[in-house]
Structure 1
Amino acid sequence: MPEWDHVTDLLVIGSGGGLVGALRAAALGLDVVVAEKTDKIGGSTGMSGGIVWLPDNPLMKREGVPDSLDDARAYFDSVAGKAEECSPASSQARRETYLTAGNEMFDFLEDEGVRFVRCEGYSDYYSGARGVVGGHARSRSVEAVAFDTRELGEQAGLLRPPVAGDLTMYTYEAGYVSNLRTRKGMSVMARVMRRTIGGRLRGKKLVTNGAALIAHLLKALGNRGVPVWTETSLVELVVADGTVVGAVLNKGAPGDGKGGGRTLRIGVRGGVLLAAGGFSRNQRMRDEFAGDQPGQVAWTSANPGDTGEVLRLAMGIGAATDMMDEGWWMPSWLLADGTPSMTLSERCKPHSIIVDTHGNRYFNEAVAYQEAGQLMFAHEKKTGGALPSWLIIDSRHRSHYTFATAAPGMTPRTWIADGVMKKAATLDDLARQCGIDPVALARTVERFNGFAHTGVDEDFHRGEGDHERYQGDATHRPNACLGAIAKAPFYAVAMYPGDIGTNGGLLCDEAGRVLNTDGNVISGLYAAGNCTASVMGRKYLGAGATIGPSVIFSYVAAADAARRVAADASTSSPVNSEQ
């Protein structure tokens, strides 16, 4: 057998949702090592809102919010399609595991000290939409409570900054805060400020969002004695007799003065769990697998380590893949330095519209962001003029609502000076600046304004879904998402189908085991998160539909690895246990 520098039960590659798998394995008595290639911990999970989509979850039960797994199954079928019609990644067995193991995982994490809050009002993304059944308007999503990073000691410096920045604001609160004109918006903002200022006065260093989730998990892992090796990348998966028995790692950055750059051969008794994200920042892979959805590295908001080499290594030993053309699309505009700025509530609020360069509206601007990106790509293929499209707003939108980092009525002069946001006294002049057909734009706006007056979008049904209204303006009548484009000055930004990660990748079974191209299990190899083809298929069911599969399938993979270790305990180990 190979000579090993270190032997462990479970090796976890990546430090986002895979940390749940590491924690579960440790709780089951396994020896665990986590390897993270960057100098920060958390991956895209740490950079995200940190939400987990969990139907009929324990918090709902405690708070008397009705739900059922049968409704969730119906919702899955209604939005993602019947399992038999979808990718094998969205098989009925994997859906059932997601729904049932998810709440078991929740209970486990609470036992380990991770605390959650329910995201009241952050409805399923298709709840209330035409033809959809089983959706939940009050939210099936949860996120970690604010965490005082002082509890992590020196490890606090390894966290990626939270989405909310210096504010102690939960992700689900952002939808309310984006509309400070409402009583609810002002009430939530006041609560955020009390939490933020109160924490500072008590000397706390609070983080929320994905940073809070990762911080909770790091503390729990520390309590279990699980090491997390940063700047440690996967170089090779070691296979013997068709089983993954170890891995080769490169630990430490060469020339860092800390003895870095060492090659380590790690033997595993239970397996290797790949939870290292996808390939959003690898243009070569994006081009190879693009299909009809040619995403660009320049448009992504995924974490810097999302470069796909782990996925390549798994494919190199025969792992099967699916949906490699798919991403978690996020309509975005580009700042002057090229940084993508994601648009969520901006395109759902009244007095906004999205058109192609021909001046035509072509989809419901308030639809779930993944589908919005898919529609942009589809329209580009069919007619052209969708890359970029243009988000156009009037002065009421700009004076009433936040736009990216800009408070209502306070548009940064640099946006206009740099040309990333166009401003004009007339729609005709705005069209000229954007290269849009002005005659067609005038016609489109006239029709749209009629819908705003009646409150019914006869073309694309904007504002009918619960989540669309949540992101809209509840005080605006007769439709929370529809308002006329009529009051000068007018503004526009070029919109691209950005993303927060890829969601195609390795095919896995319901235990998180990676399958080969013949449909058989690759023994000793597990995967979860954005390096896998998602159980959600090609739809984004609700807030937390990316992190949910990552943490849940990491959790079930750890349990399966523990079963392997137990089964092999009385027989010969697949690796040499000598250190």
Structure 2
Amino acid sequence: MPDWEYATDVVVVGSGGGLCGAVTAAVHGLETLVIEKEPLIGGSTAMSGGVLWLPNNPLMRAEGVPDSFDEAMAYFDSVVGEVRPASSKERRAAYINEGVNMIRFLQDLGMSFRRCEGYSDYYAEMRGVVGYSSRGRSIEPTVTDGNELGPWLAKLRPGIAASLGVVVFTGESAALQTIKRSPRAVTTAAKVAARTAAGKLKGESRLANGAALVAQALKIAIEHEVSIWTETPLVDLVVENGRVTGVVAKRCGRDIRIRANRAVLLSSGGFAQSAEMRQRYSMQPNSGAWTVASPGDTGEVIEAAIQYGAASDLMDDAWWIPASVMPDGRPAPHVGERSKPGSIIVDQTGDRYFNEALSYMEAGRQLYARNESTGGKAVPSWLIMDGRNRSRYLFSFQPNTPDEWISSGYMKRADTIEELARQCGIDPVRLSATVDRFNGSARQGVDPDFHRGEGAYERYMGDALHKPNPALGPVEKPPFHAVALYPGDVGTSGGLLSDEFARVLDTEQRPIAGLYATGNCTATVMGHAYPGAGASIAASFVFAYIGMKHAAQVASRSR
């Protein structure tokens, strides 16, 4: 067996939530190396909203927002439901309890967060659900000056703020969608503009959202002498006598063997960008064309661990977000648009089949469920909006309808519902009947079929100025518009099975010595649900923290 070219205590594969694990290991005295396959650091985490869903977190306590372990567990039981290995009672309890400890740990090291007030749990106030928080359990990083990273700033994957050209908090996005009609939205926009301008005047490279989260964690990792190698993909694991003792990685064009004396933490993405794995595991149709996950989400890390006996679960699921396909072929996720009055979603037969304002993951699951029950009549579905809706609210961050959207056929437009139906290939009579039924109750602000607008999240994402139901209004004012919706996603949510200590389990449910995992390469503790904004990123950070704390404890005992 060839010699090791490099040796360290901990090897972390992936630089999203894995940075939290790297920091944890380093602070506990373990020499740590992070290997990242992409040229840029942060993966899908840097590209995200950077929100963390953490029950009973210290920011809630500081602001007097009531919560408890028991309420959070009750909410898990209501929403996630079935207890299975990936979402066992032990993993749920570890996530809630250690999430509190993790935030305190990161705050003590200099990371800074703000509460997303009003960004409610996604199932808050819905029928049959208990233990929720209507004020919300989500937090996000404060604005960060990327210049503090020095030369590492050039290695940071750009986030949402970079593409928008403004420094906006994720918790502000719902308000900004009503900027054409809400004084509150105008005030929020003014704050965003002032924040952005102030950064430029000070010569700062201001970051928000996922980029800020990764930047803050990266800064601490650098301060604690964590080594970080980019453009270094994992090739294989090294297993000796049943224990993972290191990895093989490709660096500078050749394979090198890296010894991990204490632990290997897998924190890569999932397989959202692998057409072959999507065809093999995902609900269909899905080739990965509708995902907005990091280009590095190609699944080889999951397959490497499975080769050595690792168990997997939830491989058919993902963090779904209904998306349209823009004229340039780019998928565009739609979150708040579905919650605005004057809109409706129907399948290809013209029938409405779910509450359009549900959380994005739940909406994606509804698309697939309907597609299966109708023999392929719901992918794509159609998001239909009336003229009042299009004049009042942003769509894909645009205040108006670009001519290209209409000329390319991306967005259909017609003066009548019947003509719109014909453009969409829907039976005009059937669609007209669906809209008439919907409008009859929507004018009263009620939805007897699917209860749209009853949940706190649905109202939060709606239009507070629209009465009596912020998330519901008739589709009646021409011209009418329609866009095809597909089950897009921000990453897969199934993968390696791990326990409450983030140890990867084999097919006999036994821990594989020396191997830990977190993030989208694992089967999520959230099961088939998404309890609140930032549930995926939070779980990635929490179990990275748990795993490396456990590895440090094992190392201490062995010494």
Structure 1 segment 187-336 matched on structure 2, within 5 A: 187-251=187-251, 260-290=252-282, 292-336=283-327
SS of the residue corresponding to residue 494 of structure 1 reads strand
Q: Distance in 2 between matches of 1:417 and 1:157?
A: 38
Q: Distance in 2 between matches of 1:28 and 1:183?
A: 49
Answer whether contact 1:296 1:498 (CA < 8 A) is retained: no
Q: Distance in 2 between matches of 1:461 and 1:139?
A: 21
Matched, 1:123 2:120: yes
Q: What is the percent sequence identity of the aligned residues? A: 53
Find the counterpart in structure 1 of residue 341 from structure 2.
350
Superposed CA deviations along residues 15-41 of structure 1, whole A, max 9, x for unmatched, are 000100000000000000000000110
Matched, 1:428 2:425: no
Q: Distance in 2 between matches of 1:244 and 1:160?
A: 30
Q: For residue 92 of structure 1, report the CA deviation from its aligned partner.
A: 0.5
Task: Structure 2: state its 5+ residue gaps.
Answer: none
SS of the residue corresponding to residue 233 of structure 2 reads strand
SS of the residue corresponding to residue 299 of structure 1 reads coil
Task: Structure 1: state its 5+ residue gaps.
Answer: 252-259, 570-579
Q: Distance in 2 between matches of 1:445 and 1:285?
A: 39
Q: Distance in 2 between matches of 1:153 and 1:417?
A: 45
Q: For residue 567 of structure 1, report the CA deviation from its aligned partner.
A: 3.1
Q: Distance in 2 between matches of 1:110 and 1:2?
A: 43
Q: For residue 194 of structure 1, report the CA deviation from its aligned partner.
A: 1.5
TM-score of the aligned structures, taking structure 2 as reference length: 0.98
Superposed CA deviations along residues 388-443 of structure 1, whole A, max 9, x for unmatched, are 00000011111101100211xx2111111111111111111111111111111100
Q: Distance in 2 between matches of 1:87 and 1:44?
A: 26
Q: For residue 184 of structure 1, report the CA deviation from its aligned partner.
A: 2.1
Find the counterpart in structure 1 of residue 391 from structure 2.
399
Q: Distance in 1 between matches of 2:151 and 2:406?
A: 42
Find the counterpart in structure 2 of residue 173 from structure 1.
172
Find the counterpart in structure 1 of residue 101 from structure 2.
104
Q: Match of 2:350, as an amino acid? A: G
Q: For residue 295 of structure 1, report the CA deviation from its aligned partner.
A: 2.7
Q: Distance in 2 between matches of 1:190 and 1:65?
A: 27
**Over aligned residues, Cα RMSD in angstroms?**
1.0
Q: Distance in 2 between matches of 1:131 and 1:405?
A: 34
Superposed CA deviations along residues 26-68 of structure 1, whole A, max 9, x for unmatched, are 0000000000000110011010000111111111111111211
SS of the residue corresponding to residue 546 of structure 1 reads helix
SS of the residue corresponding to residue 337 of structure 1 reads coil
Q: For residue 201 of structure 1, report the CA deviation from its aligned partner.
A: 1.5
Superposed CA deviations along residues 162-202 of structure 1, whole A, max 9, x for unmatched, are 21332111001001111122232222112111111122122
Find the counterpart in structure 2 of residue 577 from structure 1.
none
Answer whether contact 1:293 1:374 (CA < 8 A) is retained: no
Find the counterpart in structure 2 of residue 510 from structure 1.
500
Find the counterpart in structure 2 of residue 141 from structure 1.
138
Q: Distance in 1 between matches of 2:115 and 2:452?
A: 27
Aligned length: 555
Matched, 1:494 2:484: yes
Structure 1 residue aligned with 2:382, among 387, 390, 393?
Answer: 390
Superposed CA deviations along residues 94-131 of structure 1, whole A, max 9, x for unmatched, are 00100000010001101111100111111100001111
Q: For residue 568 of structure 1, report the CA deviation from its aligned partner.
A: 3.1
Matched, 1:561 2:539: no
Matched, 1:58 2:66: no
Answer whether contact 2:276 2:287 (CA < 8 A) is retained: no
Q: Distance in 2 between matches of 1:563 and 1:293?
A: 43
Q: Distance in 1 between matches of 2:274 and 2:200?
A: 40
Answer whether contact 1:352 1:391 (CA < 8 A) is retained: yes
Find the counterpart in structure 1 of residue 468 from structure 2.
478
Q: Distance in 2 between matches of 1:487 and 1:86?
A: 47
Q: Distance in 2 between matches of 1:427 and 1:158?
A: 50
Q: Match of 1:433, as an amino acid? A: Q
Q: Distance in 2 between matches of 1:228 and 1:448?
A: 55
SS of the residue corresponding to residue 71 of structure 1 reads helix
Q: For residue 293 of structure 1, report the CA deviation from its aligned partner.
A: 4.3
Answer whether contact 2:322 2:334 (CA < 8 A) is retained: yes
Answer whether contact 1:35 1:233 (CA < 8 A) is retained: yes
Q: For residue 2 of structure 1, report the CA deviation from its aligned partner.
A: 5.3
Q: For residue 337 of structure 1, report the CA deviation from its aligned partner.
A: 1.8
Answer whether contact 1:33 1:228 (CA < 8 A) is retained: yes
Q: Distance in 2 between matches of 1:11 and 1:481?
A: 47
SS of the residue corresponding to residue 265 of structure 1 reads strand
SS of the residue corresponding to residue 197 of structure 1 reads helix
SS of the residue corresponding to residue 430 of structure 1 reads helix
Find the counterpart in structure 2 of residue 37 from structure 1.
37
Q: Distance in 1 between matches of 2:421 and 2:227?
A: 56
Q: Distance in 2 between matches of 1:235 and 1:301?
A: 25
Find the counterpart in structure 2 of residue 158 from structure 1.
155
Q: For residue 268 of structure 1, report the CA deviation from its aligned partner.
A: 0.9
Answer whether contact 2:79 2:129 (CA < 8 A) is retained: yes
Q: Distance in 2 between matches of 1:519 and 1:206?
A: 45
Matched, 1:380 2:371: yes
